[in-house]
Structure 1
Amino acid sequence: MKIIETKKITKSYGKNRGIQKVDISVEEGEIYGFIGPNGAGKSTTIKTLLNFIYPTSGNAKVFGMDIVNESSKIKEHIGYVPSEVNFYDEV
């Protein structure tokens, strides 16, 4: 079973590029890492897969479920810790 599958997923911000035509296929049991310099699209891809931001075009599935239409079901099985973590100030 494919755990992650993207087909030409793109996210644009007006004239600015987010990600372009990303194709990923990760099978169950495989380990997949995002490596690249700042601005390469790693966070944008992950946020798109979790439906925190909507793709401009293309489609993707996580656990065989559509990232837009079934995002609530996907999030029942995934944890996400962003790189910019903010904690409450101590009282």
Structure 2
Amino acid sequence: MSGNDTVIRTEGLTKHYGDVEALVDLDLEVHRGEVFGFLGPNGAGKSTTIRTLMGFLKPTRGRASMLGLDTREDTLAIRRDVGYLPGDLAM
């Protein structure tokens, strides 16, 4: 998983919660300068994808990187460089 212009990459990214498949075999590439949005109904896997990319969740299988950093190994470095505000945050 390399490439200087690729800022988000997933390969076969899958996340299960018990018997529930929240995310199944997601292959995705977002390049520097592109605008990308996660759109879909509740339960489509949007939040699961973002939380996995940020390293808050570990994938069941597959790989992902952000800014060239592995989301399993480099979570602190990713969180230093990427902002994330969850939609379900209550104050």
Other-structure match for 1:47? 51
- SS of the aligned residue for 1:17 comes to strand
- In the aligned structure 2, how far is the partner of 1:85 from the partner of 1:57? 27
Match of 1:21 in 2: 25
Pick from 75, 81, 90 the counterpart of residue 77 of structure 1: 81
- 1:8 offset after TM fit, Å? 0.3
Identity %: 41
**1:9 corresponds to 2:13:** yes
RMSD, aligned CA: 0.6
Gaps of 5+ in 2: none
Give unmatched runs, 5+ long, in structure 1: none
SS of 1:72's partner is helix
Partner Cα separation in structure 2 for residue 85 and residue 55 of structure 1: 22
Q: How far, CA to CA, are the matches of 2:22 and 2:55 in structure 1?
A: 15
How many residues are aligned here? 87
User: 4+ residue stretches of structure 1 with deviation over 2 A?
Assistant: none
State the distance in 2 between where 1:84 and 1:10 align.
Answer: 22
Q: Deviations over 1:26-56 (max 9, x none)?
A: 0000011001111100000000000111100
Q: TM-score, normalised by structure 1?
A: 0.93
Deviation, structure 1 residue 79: 1.0
For the pair 1:35 / 2:39, whether they are aligned, the reply is yes
